[in-house]
Amino acid sequence: MNLVFKALADPTRRRILELLREREMTAGELAEHFSLAKPTLSGHFAVLREADLVEAEKHGTSITYRLKLSVLEEALLALAGVMGIGLAEKGTDGKKGKGHAT
Partner DNA sequence: ACTATATTTCGGTATTTGGCAAAATAGCGA
Partner DNA sequence: TCGCTATTTTGCCAAATACCGAAATATAGT
> 28-40 burial by CB neighbour count: b if 16+ within 10 A, else e?
eebbeeeeeeeee
Nearer to its own copies, 36 or 85 (CB): 85
Q: Least distance from C-beta 54 to its own copies, angstroms? A: 12
In this structure, which amino acid lies at residue 82?
V
Q: Least distance from C-beta 89 to DNA, angstroms? A: 29
Which residues of the chain form contacts with DNA (CB under 7 A)? 6, 9-10, 12, 26-29, 31, 35-47, 56, 58, 60-63
